Amino acid sequence: MPTLIASLVAERVGGRIVGDSSLELTGFAPADGAKPGDLTFAENEAYFLRADQSAASAILVAGDFRSSTGKTIVQVENARVAFAQVLPLFFPEPVLPAGIHASAVVAASAQVDPSAHVGPQCVIGERVRIGAEAVLIGRNFISDDCVVGDGCRLYPNVTLYPRSALGRRVRIHAGSVIGSDGFGYVFDKGEHRKVPQVGQVIIHDDVEIGANVTIDRAALGATVIGRGTKIDNLVQIAHNVTIGEHCILVAQVGIAGSTKIGNYVTIAGQVGVAGHLRIADKVTIAAQSGVMHHIPEGQKWLGSPAGPDRVMKRQYLAMERLPELLRRVQELERRLGDEASSSA
């Protein structure tokens, strides 16, 4: 792990030093695991008090805090953003050597930039283009006519079906499959007849895709993932789906075919979205929701079937009252029955 000067760390995160700007920092760790020489971080006052009592030598913190134990403080505007900026300084990603491993199989018509790294047992198909400083870790299968843009990083066992296109700096984690057949069938004479899926998948710049994600190619046209979108592990995206820019899709989300999702949409874990829907910009969908209708811009939805959060919360509150309401109805029925018996 590299040794960094506190003033350099502050410069990288746009922060301000309170204390020893020449302090040497040898690591980055949470407060309960920090040791002398480490930088730790705190998001608020409670965490700062804990960090100030730790063995760390410096604290990254949002706000005008002062150490009571003589620690150096790196003051920043947003501790979480600064945390993401500092981590690569202490834990730089390994730089793999340019070149093609001897065990890789590369078609004669493929174009591999000299600065790219093609790891062991990769297969590169006909007319594939691999961009500058792209990294294929190993055992990647890149089918015919695919494009892997500059600075992409593909972890082991990532598969790209024919004509899949990745923009720049796309990261795809192990086991993901891009461009597999969409789930398209028509019922004909007592059997399900396959509809050929002849489209492609287009993934724009700065997208990150987790492990074991499947993104199906379009029947015609393209399945599209917009710039800056982040997709968690175990997500299924069906054929002809379009996802906008800077969206977040959390684990086990499933999106059915031809649905259009806007920009800055957040879809929490295990959400199911039906096909041919329109989810507008800046929508948030809570975990385990089942979406069966279009959602207007900026709304928060939850539940299964999903609805606007204020409506669904009222329904949940009403459901909590049902046992008491049922008891009261039964009591009223008993009283009415007793009155009817006595009057008879």
State the average pLDDT over residues 83-102: 94
Asked if residue 305 has a cis previous peptide bond (ω within 30° of 0), the answer is yes
Spatial contact of 250 and 289, defined as CB atoms under 8 Å apart: no
pLDDT in tens, 125-144: 999 999 999 999 999 999 99
Q: What is the predicted pLDDT for the residue at 1?
A: 75
Q: What is the predicted pLDDT for the residue at 55?
A: 96
Q: 76-84 long-range CB contacts below 8 Å, 24 or more apart?
A: 76/13, 76/14, 76/15, 76/16, 77/14, 79/41, 79/42, 79/43, 80/43, 81/13, 82/13, 82/14, 82/15, 82/41, 83/41
pLDDT range class, residue 118, cuts 50, 70, 90: very high
Mean pLDDT, the chain, whole residue set: 95
Which of 64-68, 118-122, 242-246, 303-307 is least confident? 64-68
Q: What is the predicted pLDDT for the residue at 239?
A: 98
Share of the chain above pLDDT 90, in %: 89
- Compute φ and ψ for 212, nearest 5 degrees: 55, 40
Alpha helices per DSSP H over 33-178: 45-52, 79-90
Q: What is the predicted pLDDT for the residue at 101?
A: 98
Query: Is 101 part of the annotated catalytic residue set?
Result: no
Catalytic site residue from 117, 173, 204, 239: 239
Amino acid at 248: I
State the average pLDDT over residues 311-332: 90
Q: What is the predicted pLDDT for the residue at 112?
A: 98
Q: What is the 3-state secondary structure (H, E, C) of 29-49?
A: CCHHHCCCCEEEEECCHHHHH
pLDDT in tens, 201-257: 999 999 999 999 999 999 999 999 999 999 999 999 999 999 999 999 999 999 999
CA 169 to CA 153: how far, in whole Å?
A: 7
Q: What is the predicted pLDDT for the residue at 344?
A: 60
State the average pLDDT over residues 189-210: 97
pLDDT in tens, 42-74: 988 889 999 999 999 999 999 889 999 999 999
